[in-house]
Amino acid sequence: MSQDLNYLKETPSQTAGPYVHIGLAPGAAGFDIYRQELGWDICGPNAKGERIRIEGVVIDGTGSPIKDVLLEAWQANAAGIYSHPEGGGDVEEGFRGWGRVITDFETGEWGFDTVKPGATRGRNVGMQAPHINLWIVARGINVGLNTRIYFDDEMDANAADPVLNLIEWERRRATLIAKRTDRDGQIVYRFDVRMQSEDETVFFDI
């Protein structure tokens, strides 16, 4: 016998289930209950930087879009500052950097509007390329999946990014890089997530 360490154990995860919208996006479930739902406005009206939109689908192992996904985004502002006491500084009034988005029940398409984040400081030295942290939950997902959205017009920063470089297989790094298009003057990045297949998106244990 020896002493007990007396740490508590983390509460285990369970799937968000098919009705996650009731709790986290009740308007999508079909009813209006709160004064305001949280997470629909990621960056607020005063955020500096380039206004962008990110769109995608989450594709299951059969190649079909998942139509009951909920995603949460967590990002720095254009200066690379997170809205948090340890985020590295002050952010614009109204900038939270967190958003919640659900898929269209018919098509599985999701999308959100934000500003393009700036580079953030690395764990030790150097900088992390601009990225948005993504957390994905749905029926059938037992533990929320973490991934990152990078940007294809940041090639130099991406090449130096410590997290992308941690991925041993270079071809898999491409699964994290959103593709920029111009849609009638609006900047839209495409970011599809694949749960399985040889192009399976890289998911992180953070």
- Nearest-approach distance from CB 57 to another protein, in angstroms: 13
Q: Specify the stretch interacting with another protein by CB under 8 A; choose among 44-52, 106-114, 151-159, 166-174.
A: 166-174
Q: Does 116 bind another protein (CB under 8 A)?
A: no
The total of other beta-carbon atoms located within 10 Å of residue 125's CB is 7
Sign of CA dihedral 125, 131, 132, 136: negative
Q: Does 22 bind another protein (CB under 8 A)?
A: yes
Q: Which of 53, 139, 180, 190 binds another protein (CB under 8 A)?
A: 139
Residue number with CB closer to another protein (84 or 179): 84
Would you put residue 110 in left (φ > 0), alpha (ψ -120 to 50) or beta?
Answer: beta
* Distances, alpha carbon 25 to alpha carbons 6, 18, 40, 59, in Å: 37, 12, 9, 21
Q: Specify the stretch interacting with another protein by CB under 8 A; choose among 47-55, 107-115, 163-171, 182-190.
A: 163-171
Q: Specify the stretch interacting with another protein by CB under 8 A; choose among 47-55, 118-126, 149-157, 178-186.
A: 118-126
Q: Which of 3, 7, 171, 183 binds another protein (CB under 8 A)?
A: 7
The total of other beta-carbon atoms located within 10 Å of residue 173's CB is 19
Q: Which of 79, 113, 122, 152 binds another protein (CB under 8 A)?
A: 122
- Nearest-approach distance from CB 187 to another protein, in angstroms: 22
Size of residue set near another protein by CB under 8 A: 84
Q: Does 158 bind another protein (CB under 8 A)?
A: no
Would you put residue 158 in left (φ > 0), alpha (ψ -120 to 50) or beta?
Answer: alpha
State which of positions 75-114 bind another protein (CB under 8 A): 76, 82-88, 96-98, 105
* Residue whose pair of structure tokens reads 């004064």 in the numeric block: 35
Q: Does 44 bind another protein (CB under 8 A)?
A: no
Q: CA 171 to CA 112: how far, in whole Å?
A: 27
Amino acid at 187: I
* Residue whose pair of structure tokens reads 């393009």 in the numeric block: 116
* Residue whose pair of structure tokens reads 């308007």 in the numeric block: 27
